[in-house]
Amino acid sequence: MRSKIVAGNWKMNKNLAETEALLTELAAKLPDTQAEVMVAPTFVNLAAAVHTLDSSVIEVIAQNMHFAESGAYTGEISADMLLNIGIDTVIIGHSERRAYFGETDEILAKKVKAALAKNMRVMFCFGEELDDRKSDNHFKVVESQLKNALFSLEASDWGKIVLAYEPVWAIGTGETASPEQAQEMHAFIRKTITEAYDASIANNVSILYGGSVKPANAVEIFGKPDVDGGLIGGASLVADDFVAIIKAI
Ligand code: PGA
């Protein structure tokens, strides 16, 4: 059975005091929900976030990690460092990592394998750019992103994978994929996984939609049968908006 998930990707926002304040407000306002709720603050505030959410069901997750165990990788963070402060879920492959930090499918495949080797859960992000969609290549691009980073995994690894389809043209732009576009792509993703593995893996993996999800459009997007939740950027920085999105699921 796949789970419903609403995750907030805070990106490079919120200092320590702001992080603690937002998390305290979120924990207090968290509605009753079957969905898993996650937040990804910036690295320097992760340990404090875990502490602040000690008695909350909200899970703190990381925005990124390096594939090496340890060593001379200035500025990087390892899986063990995350596990050591109580974090066992990591976002890998966000389009901003791909676009601004040169993360290729090959690097992402290594990161996914490194996280799984430590028994971490991976929230793997992917999605086409506007030109891909305009030229009708969006299915091909998504298929190759999945294949290059994930399709060499063992079938048993898939229990630790969450997918986040995030069309790049919808991230932070205020432009959202229509619920129909999201559903169409999510169904295509399940079909692609069925062909590479089998229907049970495809049906059991949670596929989140990300890209300008707001309180005003969340109900419609989450209402689609193959959409299992959302990865939320901007709207996750405002407690009332994030709570409204959690209620939508
Ligand atoms: P957005 O970001 O909700 O601000 O569009 C989504 C994301 O980057 O995960």
71 CA from centroid of ligand 1 (Å): 32
Q: Hey, which of 171, 217, 245 would you mutate to test ligand 1's pocket, going by the most ligand atoms within 8 Å of its Cβ? A: 171
What is the rounded distance in angstroms from the CA atom of residue 106 to the CA atom of residue 13? 28
Rounded Cα–Cα distance for residues 112 and 105 (Å): 10
Answer whether 245 contacts ligand 1 (Cβ < 6 A): no
Among residues 36, 96, 143, 166, the one annotated as catalytic is 166
pTM, whole model, 2 decimals?
0.97
pLDDT in tens, 70-95: 999 999 999 999 999 999 999 999 99
CB 5 within 8 A of CB 206: yes
* Ligand 1 centroid, distance to 87 Cα (angstroms): 21
**For ligand 1, is residue 234 a contact (CB within 6 Å)?**
yes
Is 208's C-beta closer than 6 angstroms to any atom of ligand 1? no
Q: Which amino acid is at 205?
A: V
Ligand 1 centroid from CA 193, angstroms: 24
220 flagged as catalytic: no
Q: How far is the CA of 232 from the centre of ligand 1 (A)?
A: 5
Catalytic residue among 36, 59, 94, 128: 94
The finding on whether 212 has its CB within 6 A of some atom of ligand 1 is yes
pLDDT of residue 242: 98
Is residue 134 within 8 Å of 93, Cβ to Cβ?
no
Tell whether ligand 1 has an atom less than 6 A from the beta carbon of residue 210.
yes
pLDDT at residue 144, rounded to an integer: 98
66 is catalytic: no
Q: Could you give the C-alpha distances from 43 to 46, 108, 141, in angstroms and in order?
A: 5, 19, 30
Closest ligand 1 atom to residue 232 Cα is 3
pLDDT at 182: 97
pLDDT digit string (tens) for the chain, length 249 residues: 799 999 999 999 999 999 999 999 999 999 999 999 999 999 999 999 999 999 999 999 999 999 999 999 999 999 999 999 999 999 999 999 999 999 999 999 999 999 999 999 999 999 999 999 999 999 999 999 999 999 999 999 999 999 999 999 998 887 888 999 999 999 999 999 999 999 999 999 999 999 999 999 999 999 999 999 999 999 999 999 999 999 999
Ligand 1 and 233: CB distance under 6 A: yes
Q: Which residues fall in the annotated binding site for substrate? A: 9-11, 172, 212, 233-234
Does the beta carbon of 171 sit less than 6 angstroms from any atom of ligand 1? Answer: yes
